[in-house]
């Protein structure tokens, strides 16, 4: 019989140290909100019963959850009286009697691994209490985990440490898994007899032990328990998450010439034999197919790049772009909301927007699709095997037929039929002896 696990995510803090109008749990890591990292990992570990504790003023977070996770319950902690109080509020407002285990997470820990969550899930039904713990080179600021004879005895908060336990390097990671055995009554034993007058969840260790329960700990890497509470911390978490993504892609065979300069979105997909040069940024919804070369200083989002295409250097792709196999997008080319068929070439200094480019079409330097008339975005169609000369302006809506040619420097305002050549140029004018006149002056 499958056991039911309920996860409680504590996200009721004010997050004032973040100095942002965006709530702390919604700060992005690799383009994804911190709390979404946590929730999605829980779902991936088959923990589907999720309750998020928020504060009374956090409408932005509440709205985000209702839109993106309408199945999730939220509970309001009216007064921020500590982590223990937040969990008590959940038990007072929700009937968790059919849950076999409860795991308490924090809404600012995006680096927690799925393997650790699975360990916590298992512990929540096998032991009365299990905490997440990590070893720190400098334990200052963390609660110390006191273990005697292999048994978790207590957690001592930093303010209560003494000479005997101050140098203990095993620290409290905050996350706690609890067997739901008379748990609501045990939570009622929490007291606020501390300097902050708060109900501290870590006091549950001693309560469980005094009730003849079994308390234990699960050790993890210290970064998994890292809580993001400042913009500096956000940057640190981003850096660590990017390391994980880079290592994942390189282990799959992707060549990344200078990993520290390449940034991925959480949903980036890359196939085999891809090479990425330095200083490349991937935004949301990017898929890179086999054999693609991404050259330096390129920015790519909301795009699919097919087999053996070359992008960059200094290319920008955005807003629903498809690049066909063997195509070449060169330096200082921007493409927006366009589809390129096989072997299309846009080598340099061009803007292509709201366009379809046919197979083996060649777009010369300085070409612009004039897609916006001040009110509407208009489409450009360029047929297969067509040639657009350098410094041309294609005023949309417009269609250039297959095998058609547009002469360099042309402003084209009407459709071009298949196989035709069009060009627009002012007549050449020569002024004799112009240089002599200038120098005499």
DSSP 199-221: --GGGHHHHHHHTT--EEEEE--
Flag whether 434 is in a domain.
no
My answer on whether 163 and 297 are in the same domain is no
Claim to verify: residue 242 and residue 206 sit in the same structural domain: no
Confidence at residue 150, expressed as pLDDT on a 0 to 100 scale = 83
The confidence score (pLDDT) of residue 163 equals: 85
Say yes or no: 195 and 287 in one domain.
Answer: no
Whether residue 354 is found in the same domain as residue 208 = no
- pLDDT on residue 437: 77
Structure confidence at residue 441 (pLDDT) = 58
Q: Are residues 252 and 213 in the same domain?
A: no
Q: Do residues 133 and 266 share a domain?
A: no
User: What stretches of 124-233 adopt beta strand conformation (E)?
Assistant: 129-135, 144-148, 151-156, 170-179, 215-219
Is 233 buried (19+), middle (13-18) or exposed (0-12) by CB count in 10 A?
Answer: middle
SS3 (DSSP) at 18: helix
State the chain's mean pLDDT as an integer: 95
pLDDT surpasses 70 at 353:
yes
348 classed as catalytic: yes
Q: What is the pLDDT of residues 36-91, one digit of tens each?
A: 999 999 999 999 999 999 999 889 999 999 999 999 999 999 988 999 999 999 99
Q: Note whether 49 and 171 are same-domain residues.
A: yes
Q: Is 436 a residue whose pLDDT tops 90?
A: no
Among 222, 266, 348, 403, which one carries the catalytic annotation? Answer: 348
Peptide bond into 397 cis (omega under 30): yes
At 107, which CATH number? 3.90.550.10
Residue 437 lies in a domain: no
| Residue 287 pLDDT | 98
Cα 421 to Cα 223, 261, 415: the distances in Å are: 63, 45, 11
One domain, residues 88 and 196? yes
- Supply the range of the domain harboring residue 166: 5-225
Give the pTM: 0.92
Same domain, 218 and 265: no
Q: What percent of the chain has pLDDT over 90?
A: 88
Residue 47 lies in a domain: yes
With respect to residue 256, please indicate whether it lies within any of the assigned structural domains: yes
pLDDT digits (tens, 9 = 90+) for 252-284: 999 999 999 999 999 999 999 999 999 999 999
For residues 209 and 342, membership in a common domain is answered with no
Strands 315-318 and 269-270: unpaired
End residue of a domain, out of 190, 225, 260:
225
Helix (H) or strand (E) holding 229, with range, is: none
Residue 272 and residue 275: Cα distance in Å, rounded? 9
Q: Residues 115, 256: one domain? A: no
Last residue of a domain, one of 196, 225, 254: 225
Cα 200 to chain center, whole Å?
32
Q: 3-state class of 339 per DSSP?
A: strand
Report how many domains make up the chain. Answer: 2
């Amino acid at each position: 019989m499958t056991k039911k696990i309920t996860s409680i995510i504590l996200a009721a803090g004010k997050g004032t140290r973040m100095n942002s109008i965006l709530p702390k749990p919604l700060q992005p890591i690799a383009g994804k909100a911190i709390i979404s990292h946590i929730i999605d990992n829980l779902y991936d570990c088959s923990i589907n019963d999720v309750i998020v504790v928020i504060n009374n003023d956090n409408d932005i977070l509440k709205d985000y959850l209702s839109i993106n996770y309408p199945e999730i319950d939220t509970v309001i902690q009216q007064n921020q009286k500590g982590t223990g109080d937040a969990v008590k509020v959940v038990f007072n407002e929700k009937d968790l009697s059919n849950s076999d285990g409860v795991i308490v997470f924090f809404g600012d820990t995006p680096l927690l691994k799925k393997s650790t969550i699975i360990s916590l899930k298992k512990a929540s039904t096998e032991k009365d209490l299990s905490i997440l713990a990590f070893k720190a080179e400098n334990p200052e600021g963390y609660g110390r985990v006191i273990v005697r004879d292999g048994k978790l005895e207590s957690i001592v908060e930093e303010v209560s440490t003494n000479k005997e336990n101050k140098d203990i390097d095993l620290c409290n990671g905050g996350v706690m898994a609890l067997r739901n055995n008379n748990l609501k009554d045990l939570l009622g034993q929490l007291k606020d007899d501390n300097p902050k007058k708060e109900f501290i969840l870590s006091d549950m260790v001693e309560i469980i032990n005094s009730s003849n329960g079994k308390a234990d700990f699960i050790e993890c890497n210290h970064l998994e328990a890292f809580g993001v509470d400042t913009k500096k911390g956000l940057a640190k978490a981003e850096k660590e998450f990017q390391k994980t993504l880079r290592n994942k892609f390189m282990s799959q065979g992707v060549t990344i010439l200078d990993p520290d300069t390449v940034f991925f979105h959480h949903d980036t997909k890359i196939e085999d034999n891809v090479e990425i040069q330095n200083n490349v940024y991937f935004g949301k919804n990017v898929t890179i197919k086999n054999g693609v070369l991404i050259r330096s200083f390129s920015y790519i989002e909301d795009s699919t790049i097919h087999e053996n295409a070359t992008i960059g250097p200094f290319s920008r792709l955005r807003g629903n772009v498809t690049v066909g196999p063997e195509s070449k997008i060169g330096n200082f080319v921007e493409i927006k909301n366009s589809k390129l068929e096989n072997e299309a070439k846009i080598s340099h200094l061009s803007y292509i927007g709201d366009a379809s480019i046919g197979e083996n079409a060649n777009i010369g330097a300085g070409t612009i699709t004039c897609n916006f008339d001040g009110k509407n975005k208009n489409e450009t169609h360029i047929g297969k095997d067509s040639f657009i000369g350098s410094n041309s302006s294609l005023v949309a809506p417009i269609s250039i037929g297959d095998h058609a040619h547009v002469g360099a420097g042309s402003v084209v305002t009407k459709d071009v039929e298949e196989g035709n050549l069009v060009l627009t140029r002012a007549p050449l004018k020569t002024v004799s002896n112009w240089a002599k006149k200038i120098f005499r002056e």
